[in-house]
């Protein structure tokens, strides 16, 4: 194929892409960009990553480089709750491949009961729950359109790691970036389905802008 028509654009697009992969610091003691970057470096090329819908997924899609076809299971229609059952199904079909299922706290609460299925069938998927205590995407829209007018987006969550233990799975909580690698290795070594709750700062609302920045920009633009 003659690529001369777009040859000058290719290096620019590549540079844009590489710039996007550089982690931007976000508020709080867990840097999701670094957590996902670690997974990107450590997981086998054929690992399967699943997710549902929520702002947490933007870190996964931005910082994880999918290295083969059929390694990303995610809903194009944006349905929450897809990540957990997809993570169970993927591991049932491909028991020899690493399967990491990523959910937000809101997402997880939609289909988290499938952990029972994972335990029942010995499906050793690793479930990550990115817990910011809210429906972050919806809070983002609330702050953008009606700054400071929050409605029904705060969540009172269970203790996710304790819940995992109650199902007979392995459960851990991570509150600092540097603790994630050890938790992931222990989850892998547990020989059981495993859940790692990652507690993130609610201010870390998007990879590029904090909750307060989004709210303040909305207030400034309405003045």
Ligand X SMILES: Cc1ncc(C[n+]2csc(CCOP(=O)(O)OP(=O)(O)O)c2C)c(N)n1
* Residues found near ligand X in the complex (CB under 6 A): 53-56, 78-81, 104-107, 130, 132, 134-138
Choosing among ligand X, Mg ion, none, which partner's interface includes residue 101 (Cβ < 5 to 8 Å by kind)?
Answer: none
Sorted by sequence, the CB contacts under 8 Å of residue 117 that are 6+ apart come out as 85, 88, 123
Binding segment toward Mg ion, per CB under 5 A, in 80-88, 114-122, 136-144, 209-217: 136-144
Cross-strand bridge partners of residue 49: 72, 100
Question: In angstroms, what is the minimal distance from the CB of 189 to ligand X?
Answer: 28
Beta bridge partners of 57: none
Who contacts 95 (Cβ-Cβ below 8 Å, separation ≥6)? 123
Residue 26 partner contact from Mg ion, ligand X, none using kind-dependent CB cut-offs of 5 to 8 Å: none
**Size of residue set near Mg ion by CB under 5 A:** 5
Tell which one of 28, 87, 104, 112 touches Mg ion (CB under 5 A).
Answer: 104
Q: How far is C-alpha 94 from the chain's CA centre? A: 21
Within a 10 A sphere around the Cβ of 196, how many other Cβ atoms?
25
3-state secondary structure 142-206: HHHHCCCCCCCCECCCCCHHHHHHHHCCEEEEECCHHHHHHHHHHHHHCCCCEEEEEECCCCCCC
Nearer to ligand X, 126 or 198 (CB): 198
Please identify, among the stretches 63-71, 129-137, 170-178, 196-204, the one whose residues bind Mg ion according to the rule CB under 5 A.
129-137
Contact between 52 and Mg ion (CB under 5 A)? no
| CA–centroid distance for 157 within its chain | 17
> Is residue 132 a contact residue for Mg ion (CB under 5 A)?
yes
Closest distance to ligand X from the beta carbon of 131 (Å): 8
Alpha carbon distances (Å) from 84 to 29, 30, 91: 25, 22, 11
Candidates 105, 143, 172, 197; binder of Mg ion (CB under 5 A) is 105
Which of the listed partners (ligand X, Mg ion, none) does 43 bind, with a CB threshold of 5 to 8 Å by partner kind? none
Give the footprint of Mg ion on this chain (CB under 5 A). Answer: 104-106, 132, 136
């Amino acid at each position: 194929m003659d690529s001369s028509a777009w040859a000058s654009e290719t290096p620019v697009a590549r540079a844009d892409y590489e710039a996007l992969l550089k982690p931007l610091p976000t508020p709080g003691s867990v840097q999701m960009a670094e957590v996902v970057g670690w997974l990107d470096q450590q997981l086998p090329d054929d690992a399967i990553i699943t997710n549902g819908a929520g702002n947490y997924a933007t870190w996964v899609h931005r910082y994880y480089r999918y290295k083969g076809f059929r390694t990303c299971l995610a809903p194009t229609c944006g349905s929450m709750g897809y990540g957990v059952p997809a993570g169970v199904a993927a591991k049932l079909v491909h028991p020899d491949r690493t399967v990491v299922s990523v959910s937000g706290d809101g997402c997880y609460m939609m289909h988290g009961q499938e952990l029972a299925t994972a335990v029942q069938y010995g499906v050793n998927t690793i479930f990550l729950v990115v817990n910011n205590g809210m429906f972050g995407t919806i809070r983002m829209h609330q702050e953008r359109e009606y700054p400071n007018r929050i409605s029904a987006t705060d969540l009172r969550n269970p203790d996710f790691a304790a819940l995992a233990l109650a199902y007979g799975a392995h459960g851990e909580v991570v509150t600092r970036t540097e603790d994630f690698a050890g938790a992931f290795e222990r989850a892998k070594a547990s020989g059981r389905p495993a859940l790692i709750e990652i507690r993130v700062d609610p201010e870390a609302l998007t990879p590029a802008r904090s909750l307060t920045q989004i709210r303040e920009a909305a207030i400034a633009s309405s003045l």
